[in-house]
Amino acid sequence: MTTAIRTRGLTKYYGGFLAVDGLDLEVHEGDVYGFLGANGSGKTTTVRMLLGLVLATSGTAEVLGRAMPGAAHDVLPEVGAMIEAPAAYPHLSGRANLALFDAMGRGSRRRGRAGRVDDALDRVGLGGVDGRPVRAYSLGMRQRLGLANALIRQPRLLVLDEPTNGLDPQGIRDIRALLLELNAAGTTVFVSSHLLLEIEQMCTRVGVLDRGRLVLQQHLDDLRSPTGRVVLRTRDVADARRLLDHRIDEAVGERIVVRDGDAAALAAELVAAGVRVDELVAERRSLEEIVLAATGAGSDTFARTSPVDAGGAPTGPTGVPA
């Protein structure tokens, strides 16, 4: 299978501090890959090394089949990226910013530029924005503009660091739908985030970083395969508990977890005994449970629903930190 990103033993020290420890990433072309980790786990440092913005202490990185940072001149025109705070000249409008970003791109042509700018703005929901300067934009609007910049050259690979930061729930849904649409059209998407719910709803594969080390990398469907237990919800709790007795692993209120992998047979048994079944499903672990088990982290380490404005370094006009 062709790889969009591959690292081997990728390591970064800042002085005596080990930020990334022997990372072996494998992102396949066509993936929507969720790169998960708590704030400070080394995600942004990894992304910076992938794009040649930070030199690795040791190890190797390949992007679109080429060694980085050596091949950056050829590779980066095919990569759309947004790292930390979105890039923009604050005194210019969003449209003027995008036109400048496009003009600075290698191989970019003046012909058709206005159309490319309009299309990128439309795709991120900024098509109707007036000519106000970017300094008057909300955080969510700046985030959308950063995404438009990443999309303007129709990249083969999108590398996004916390792309839904600052967006309201509707904005998050819009960006999720856009990324899935781009992926369906052939773009590989690499999303670095600490928002478990967003990754769970969007990604095909995940990698989990914990204090600089990759502790998990697998297809999400495989990680969330049935556990072999069945979750029952019933109003007839006492009758269900008498019937199932020694097969019950957990029981809280009307929710009973049964040590029985055959949901259909269990449903038939309950109905035959006159037990009303409100819900009966195979148990699957949530991504939150999987990640917390892999990292040994507390439940407050990762966010599940709401983006957090973690700030970040200012960025230059190329869409990467200055």
User: What is the C-alpha to C-alpha distance for residues 44 and 268, in angstroms, rounded to an integer?
Assistant: 51
Instruction: Take residue 207 and report the two structure tokens written for it.
Output: 């990698």
What is the residue-level pLDDT of the chain in tens, covering all 322 positions? 789 999 999 999 999 999 999 999 999 999 999 999 988 899 999 999 999 999 999 999 999 999 999 999 999 999 999 987 677 889 999 999 999 888 876 666 778 888 889 999 998 888 888 889 999 998 888 888 999 999 988 899 999 998 888 788 888 888 899 999 999 999 999 999 888 888 888 999 999 999 999 999 999 999 888 888 999 999 999 999 999 999 999 999 999 999 987 889 999 999 999 999 999 999 988 888 899 888 886 545 555 543 333 333 333 333 333 2
In terms of C-beta distances under 8 Å and separation of at least 24 residues, what long-range contacts does 60-66 make, across chains too? 60/7, 60/8, 60/9, 60/10, 61/5, 61/6, 61/7, 61/10, 62/3, 62/5, 62/6, 62/7, 63/4, 63/5, 63/157, 64/4, 64/156, 64/157, 65/2, 65/3
* pLDDT score recorded for residue 258: 95
3-state helix, strand, coil in the chain (%, to 5): 35, 30, 35
The residue to which tokens 């990292």 are assigned? 295
| Residue 201 parent element (H or E) | helix 196-202
Domain ranges of the chain: 3-223, 227-284
Long-range contacts of the stretch 269-273 (C-beta < 8 A, 24+): 269/243, 270/232, 270/234, 270/240, 270/243, 273/239, 273/243
Q: Give the pLDDT score at 262.
A: 85
Residue-level pLDDT at 300: 54
- The CATH number of domain 227-284, selected from 3.40.50, 2.30.30, 3.30.70, 3.30.1370: 3.30.70
Residue 46: in which H helix or E strand, if any?
A: helix 43-50
Q: What is the CATH number of domain 3-223?
A: 3.40.50.300
**What is the pairing mode between strands 157-161 and 188-193?**
parallel
Residues 6+ apart with CB under 8 A from 41: 209, 210, 211, 212
Q: How many CB atoms lie within 10 A of CB 306?
A: 12
| Three-class SS state of 147 | helix
With a CB cutoff of 8 Å and minimum separation 6, the contacts of 169 are: none
The tokens for 303 are 């966010």
